Structure 1
Amino acid sequence: MDYGWCGLAGVFAVLLVIAATLGFIQIFGLWTWQAWRKLYASEVLLWMVFLVLSLFIAKVFATVVHVTITFCKIRQYRALIHTAVHNQDPRRSGKVQKVLICHASVGSGHSRAAQALASAVSRLDESVEVRVVDLMEPPYADRTLIYFYKDWYLRLVGGETVCGNLGGLFVGFLFDRANNVHDSFTGGNALQRRITQSFLLNFMQLVCEAKPDVMVHTHFLAPELVASLRRRHGLKVPQVTVVTDMDVHAWWYQQPTDHYFVPREIAKFQLEADGVPEEDITVSGIPIMPHFQDTLNSIKHLGRDGRRQRFLSQMDAPLHEAFLPVSDMPVIVQMSTGRSVLQIFKHLIQLETPSILVVVCGRQADSRAELEKVPVPHRHRVALLGFSSCIHELLAVADVVISKPGGLITSEALSCGLMMVVVDPYPGQEERNASMLLEEGAGIWMWDYRDISFRLDRIISAPAEAKFSLSWYQQNARRIAKPEAAFKIARYVLSDAPRQRMMREEFDLEISSDSSPPTVSQGSWSVFDYSDERVDRRGRRSSHPRRLRLSDFNDMKALESNAVPHEDSDGSELSDSALPMQAPDE
């Protein structure tokens, strides 16, 4: 049900406005037209106040109904969770039959990664039931959460609010501020977790009713909810998290998680610093659609002419005017980047090097109409491409791609061996993705659109064996590419490893719960307290000191009672005789 102005609040608003108007007419005796003509300005103002109050009360009524219904659902879902936990068979093993892949469409990268994993799982085993769920779409999420978590965020980072570009800077500040596993922003705060769960009750119902054999996440929102169900209610469902950014933010750290798949070694180090065991992390890369690997395998033994001829036969849009006759002109693909598409294109056509320029407009018909009006120098060939399902074919024959550094497009470009020109990265994760490209020598960061033609001319015209040439950037891209990531993750998901990992963890927790104080095993990543759902985690900490609380002293006592022997710098244990003597109390 929609509780906004287009739903229940709107119905209440219409009824209350009618009631307020009738009441106003009754109070002042305005049943005739002559009475209306004799109204004073103060009385008209009072009527307007009545209408505003009616709208406010309508919104309050809708909110009260919304909260009441939510509390009723919470009671129902608690019973549902209790039934699901009571009827589950955690010890079962064998062939995986149901896979639930969860993502959140906050940007297209998380969704495309989920689709890539679903396609890879289906290719490896067609008998497996694969379900892809978007947490940012009804009925799984409440419209209030969708507005603030998705719509408002995308408008903020895109500079579409009254704050302008300051909105993106604010998001970047929060992103850096929350990069700490002990911070409440990461989902460690119990109240915040309860609020989030109340907006995603339908998703939690799906988890309990679908009974998947394993859950895979390409966004950090769902792991937080599933981890809470496992900690607080004892739900036995293995979950695997696939990080879709080049760096691991603390938001991805949600325990218990049975395995993490990360794009590169530094991401593995960051998770280990947060306390995740090394054996629970695999450097796989970011999963991309299997079509990319199919295309790359098909053109592996073809020359440039053969690749472009095959490309023209496979594309779902006619691009013959730009690619025929076949020549050695470099292919530069400009991906749609929102408001800056036209500005980038105007500076790109100033290239002195003759090039084939392909602009992917997507579904932005207005952008394509504006681009068609721009006069293009005769030395270039230009193709404007709308929405296409064959982007993998285009990137496979391209040389350079100009795009925002989202996790998926970055992984796709690297897999195709493309030099990447970064423009307009969002503050936060995209800036870190751009930094990775610069570190590895696989791309350049374009701060000013006016520099595009100058910098690309120098790179394209440089000798192939020279450093910072186009070939040099492409070799670095191929060096760090991992096009087989989707199949690598899918093989793990279809194995019994996630469930075995979950059962081993539960066995360790059962042993540790036999003694009265909580225990910490060597190399373990967390201590769970099921009574208040507290998670004591070690990892990257904030630079701001935190005051000690009473619970901290209780933890210290518990840990001290289970302390292990100290080790000297050479690794040998210190015996009691090696410790300094203490004088007896007199």
Structure 2
Amino acid sequence: MTEHQTQLGKTILILSVSAGAGHARAAEAIRAYAQSAKPDCRVIHLDVMDFVTLGFRKIYTDFYVRLVNRAPTLWGYLYNFTNDARADSSMEKLRRSLERWNAKALLREIANLNPDAIICTHFLPAEMLARLIARHELDCPVWVQVTDFDLHRMWVHKGMAGYFAANQEVAFRMREHGIAADTIHVTGIPIMPAFAKTLSREKCAPAFGLAPSRFTMILMGGGAGLGNLDEVAARLLGLQLPAENPSSQFQLIVLAGKNHRALQALQTLALSYPQRLFPIGFTSQVERLMVCADVVITKPGGLTTSECLAMGLPMIVNAPIPGQEERNADYVLEQGVALKAVDSLALIYRIQELIAQPDRLSTMTQRAKLLGKPNAAQAVFERVFASLC
């Protein structure tokens, strides 16, 4: 270890892949916790896609995004096909050859950083490093954080120091794939430390112009099956509910993220619904908005699902991507913390159901709180850090 590393303490490297946002968000959550809890520990987050060729990056990021958006059924087929494929098949051998050829720059960077431990929040770097471990070319312990409520075969590799699972079912699947039970840790999926704070709806709501006592929904992300955000918002706000129902004048928060066109359309729509529609662009205060809500309408990504559960927030899941998101949706539906809307009509029906059945919504809220793991980032980092002491 260099003198510089000795002064800073341990060095932990987190590797993610920017194919979807969840893998990077999990990595950032671990890094954020480490920065506050162990400031003398150097924690570095790298996107593997910054160290591969342009063509390889397009396959792993651009092609993935296009496929899940334009041909989700095909993506679902590929998800299942690769999960069932034999490791010694010609296709798998070709895929691993491409990965080896593209891993050289990343491996040079790892050698330069000389980390004491590595955490992978995507299967690609785990697979690359597993081969080095098998050839005794890497003696640094490598840990793997699975970022969905399902386990795809491509996450499973020999030589890993340990695995972090979202729940007991994922841990069971890991054991069935031959991973040693004593290396599996059920921590949940890492989310930002802010989701572990105790927040007050009464204090957070006024900061956004919201009425704390009014029934509140959050609409997150657009998506196939429901339509554009402004269209969905207009349909929801047009709901005709009995005047005597205390939730008849509900509030709707719509998170448009970095979709500036959607945000502008929502802001125009909000002029017709003062104090009822609250369009919000990219924000780092999602947890403060979630604490103000009674239900969230969202796609069931692993990180978003984990954030909702941490906040005890029931979900209406829509348009899950075949494959990992379908499995996430299955999990929350089976656990009784979510309903599913296959289209905009189903969404309206589900909302009416929940407003008419406050006891049912309350039960879903309590179940979500029991399932939530807001301290997952802490659990992951502390386990890895303790292994180095």
TM-score normalised by length of structure 1 = 0.61
Partner residue of 2:382?
491
Say if 2:17 and 2:122, in contact at 8 Å, map to a contact too. yes
Mapped to 2, the partners of 1:284 and 1:362 lie a distance apart of: 28
Q: Give structure 1 stretches of 5+ with no counterpart.
A: 1-86, 160-166, 300-306, 314-318, 500-586
Residue number among 268, 291, 294 corresponding to 1:396 in the alignment: 291
Mapped to 2, the partners of 1:268 and 1:101 lie a distance apart of: 21
1:403-414 to structure 2, matched below 5 A, reads: 403-414=298-309
Residue number among 361, 365, 368 corresponding to 1:477 in the alignment: 368
Is 1:310 aligned to 2:204, yes or no?
yes
- Give the percent of matched residue pairs that are identical in Structure 1 and Structure 2: 30
1:265-414 to structure 2, matched below 5 A, reads: 265-294=168-197, 297-299=198-200, 307-313=201-207, 319-320=208-209, 323=210, 326=211, 328-338=213-223, 340-351=228-239, 352=241, 353-374=248-269, 381-414=276-309
Change (3 A) 1:181 1:486: farther
Residue number among 156, 159, 176 corresponding to 1:253 in the alignment: 156
Is 1:141 aligned to 2:52, yes or no?
yes
How far is 1:209 from its partner? Answer: 1.9
Partner residue of 2:347?
452
Partner residue of 1:215?
118
Is 1:171 aligned to 2:66, yes or no?
no
User: In structure 1, the residue corresponding to 2:144 is in which secondary structure?
Assistant: strand
Q: For residue 232 of structure 2, what is the amino acid of its counterpart?
A: I
Change (3 A) 1:176 1:312: same
Is 1:231 aligned to 2:134, yes or no?
yes
Change (3 A) 1:184 1:402: farther
Q: For residue 364 of structure 2, what is the amino acid of its counterpart?
A: Y
How far is 1:328 from its partner? Answer: 2.5
Mapped to 2, the partners of 1:435 and 1:344 lie a distance apart of: 23
Say if 2:297 and 2:318, in contact at 8 Å, map to a contact too. yes
Q: For residue 78 of structure 2, what is the amino acid of its counterpart?
A: L
Mapped to 1, the partners of 2:377 and 2:91 lie a distance apart of: 30
Q: For residue 231 of structure 1, what is the amino acid of its counterpart?
A: A
User: In structure 1, the residue corresponding to 2:228 is in which secondary structure?
Assistant: helix
Mapped to 1, the partners of 2:112 and 2:124 lie a distance apart of: 19
User: In structure 2, the residue corresponding to 1:444 is in which secondary structure?
Assistant: strand
How far is 1:135 from its partner? Answer: 1.1
Once the two structures are superposed, residues 274-299 of structure 1 have per-residue CA deviations (whole angstroms, 9 ceiling, x without a partner) of 001111101110010001112xx243
User: In structure 1, the residue corresponding to 2:221 is in which secondary structure?
Assistant: coil
User: In structure 2, the residue corresponding to 1:236 is in which secondary structure?
Assistant: coil
Partner residue of 2:245?
none
Change (3 A) 1:381 1:129: same
Mapped to 1, the partners of 2:358 and 2:228 lie a distance apart of: 31
How far is 1:376 from its partner? Answer: 7.8
Say if 1:247 and 1:267, in contact at 8 Å, map to a contact too. yes
How far is 1:482 from its partner? Answer: 0.8
Mapped to 2, the partners of 1:242 and 1:211 lie a distance apart of: 21
Mapped to 2, the partners of 1:380 and 1:456 lie a distance apart of: 20
Mapped to 1, the partners of 2:263 and 2:368 lie a distance apart of: 30
Is 1:195 aligned to 2:109, yes or no?
no
Say if 1:349 and 1:377, in contact at 8 Å, map to a contact too. no
How far is 1:488 from its partner? Answer: 0.7
Partner residue of 1:110?
23
1:49-198 to structure 2, matched below 5 A, reads: 97-137=10-50, 140-159=51-70, 167-180=71-84, 182-183=86-87, 189-198=92-101
Say if 2:270 and 2:278, in contact at 8 Å, map to a contact too. no
Say if 2:202 and 2:212, in contact at 8 Å, map to a contact too. no
Say if 2:204 and 2:292, in contact at 8 Å, map to a contact too. no
Change (3 A) 1:442 1:379: farther
Once the two structures are superposed, residues 463-486 of structure 1 have per-residue CA deviations (whole angstroms, 9 ceiling, x without a partner) of 42xxxx110111111111111111
Q: For residue 75 of structure 2, what is the amino acid of its counterpart?
A: V
Say if 1:330 and 1:356, in contact at 8 Å, map to a contact too. yes
How far is 1:134 from its partner? Answer: 0.5
Mapped to 1, the partners of 2:95 and 2:136 lie a distance apart of: 18
Mapped to 1, the partners of 2:316 and 2:147 lie a distance apart of: 20
Partner residue of 1:67?
none
User: In structure 2, the residue corresponding to 1:269 is in which secondary structure?
Assistant: helix
Residue-pair matches, total: 375
Return the index of the structure with the highest Cα Rg.
Answer: 1
Q: For residue 46 of structure 2, what is the amino acid of its counterpart?
A: V
How far is 1:373 from its partner? Answer: 4.0
Mapped to 2, the partners of 1:223 and 1:331 lie a distance apart of: 41
Once the two structures are superposed, residues 248-282 of structure 1 have per-residue CA deviations (whole angstroms, 9 ceiling, x without a partner) of 11111022111000001110111111001111101
Say if 1:96 and 1:495, in contact at 8 Å, map to a contact too. no
Change (3 A) 1:250 1:181: farther
TM-score normalised by length of structure 2 = 0.90
Q: For residue 214 of structure 2, what is the amino acid of its counterpart?
A: M
Q: Give structure 2 stretches of 5+ with no counterpart.
A: 242-247
Once the two structures are superposed, residues 514-551 of structure 1 have per-residue CA deviations (whole angstroms, 9 ceiling, x without a partner) of xxxxxxxxxxxxxxxxxxxxxxxxxxxxxxxxxxxxxx
Change (3 A) 1:131 1:378: closer
How far is 1:354 from its partner? Answer: 1.9
Say if 1:262 and 1:281, in contact at 8 Å, map to a contact too. yes
Partner residue of 1:562?
none
Say if 2:10 and 2:116, in contact at 8 Å, map to a contact too. yes
User: In structure 2, the residue corresponding to 1:371 is in which secondary structure?
Assistant: helix
Mapped to 1, the partners of 2:326 and 2:41 lie a distance apart of: 38
Change (3 A) 1:212 1:181: farther
Once the two structures are superposed, residues 436-491 of structure 1 have per-residue CA deviations (whole angstroms, 9 ceiling, x without a partner) of 01000010110021222222122122142xxxx11011111111111111111111
